Structure 1
Amino acid sequence: MTMTSDTYPAAYRPGWFSRAESWLDEKGKGAWIAAMVLGFIFFWPVGLALLFYMIWSKRMFKSSCSRSARRRHFHSVHSRTGNSAFDAYKEDTLRRLEEEQSEFEAFLERLREAKDKAEFDQFIDDRAKRASRSDDESDAA
């Protein structure tokens, strides 16, 4: 998709950085990496800045950088089909899945807390054993 002056309303004309970011997002992660490598080759601070930006914006760790793909997915998930029975079923299913996701995330949080507590208790027990051994050794001497 080529960005032209007609693509955006007159009140919002993105600058060159926003246009470049959108263009790179459309091309994917490979384009970001290529831009970063070229930045290092031609002027290393540009490559370094791109690397930091990719890490900061989490583009480096996403499976896809494409904003348009996310927009299409959002639109397809939240659009109406015109069939009220199907739309109601879809809304109910999405609501149920969101509830299951939040319950699963809460479950994972409880598991992390339990693991942290077990590791901390193990640390305290090990420290107490070492302290009692060193006390026994000092009493024997």
Structure 2
Amino acid sequence: MTPAASYSTTGPAMGWLSKAEAWLDSKGKGAWIAAMVLGFVFFWPIGLALLFYMIWSKQMFGKSCKRHTRHGFHAMKSSGNTAFDAYKADTLQRLEREQDDFEAFLQRLRDAKDKAEFDQFMDERSRAAAKEREEEDA
């Protein structure tokens, strides 16, 4: 799924914000940084708001470590010691697996929290509907 496909507009006021966010997401981190710098240049509160949003939503630091590990360290020159190079490769693969597992765990936690909040909402809604029916019957 593309980042733009995961966004939905909830109304006319939020439509252009969602579209702008999806467009910036599709262009990558550089577009977010450019938008933030332009925001500071033209009207500093906009730049500050974008900076806070990027930090809050993990746009700034979300996958940078994983990308660096997968593309930066593997491209490093061999040390000349095959045993050490094999150990290094195994360790990096293990760390990548652990990072993937941890990110999957965090996603499951977020999903469980979302489900709990939704279940609570539905319970409150059904209690309110039942109370409303009781009041109508009385």
Q: 1:36 to 1:136 in 2, by over 3 A?
A: closer
Q: Residue 9 of structure 1 corresponds to which residue in structure 2?
A: none
Q: Secondary structure at the match of 1:78?
A: coil
Q: Distance in 2 between matches of 1:62 and 1:128?
A: 41
Comparing both structures, which one devotes a greater share of its residues to helix? Answer: 2
TM-score, with length taken from structure 2: 0.50
Runs of at least 4 residues off by over 6 Å? none
Q: 1:90 — aligned with what?
A: 88
CA root-mean-square deviation:
3.8
Cα 1:114–1:77, aligned 2, differ >3 Å: closer, same or farther? same
Pair 137,110 (structure 1): closer, same or farther in 2 beyond 3 Å = same
User: Bigger radius of gyration, 1 or 2?
Assistant: 1
Q: Identify the residue that residue 129 of structure 1 maps to in structure 2.
A: 127
Where in structure 1 are there 5+ consecutive unaligned residues?
Answer: 1-24, 64-69
Aligned residue pairs total 90
Structure 1 residue 79 displacement after superposition:
2.6
Unaligned runs of 5+ residues in structure 2 are 1-29, 62-67
CA deviation digits over 1:10-64, x for unaligned, max 9? xxxxxxxxxxxxxxx9xxx9xx95x875x43xxx7xx9xxx5xx87xx7xx647x
- Which of the pair has the greater relative contact order for Cα pairs under 8 Å at 6+ separation? 1
* Partner amino acid, structure 2, of 1:87: D
Q: Look up the equivalent residue of 2:82 and give its one-letter code.
A: S
2: distance between equivalents of 1:116 and 1:75? 36
Q: Distance in 2 between matches of 1:127 and 1:36?
A: 42
Does residue 102 (structure 1) correspond to residue 129 (structure 2)? The answer is no
Query: 2:26 corresponds to which residue?
Result: none
Q: Could you state the TM-score of these two structures normalised by the residue count of structure 1?
A: 0.49
Q: Percent identity?
A: 48
Rounded Cα–Cα distance in structure 2 between residues aligned with 1:36 and 1:114: 36
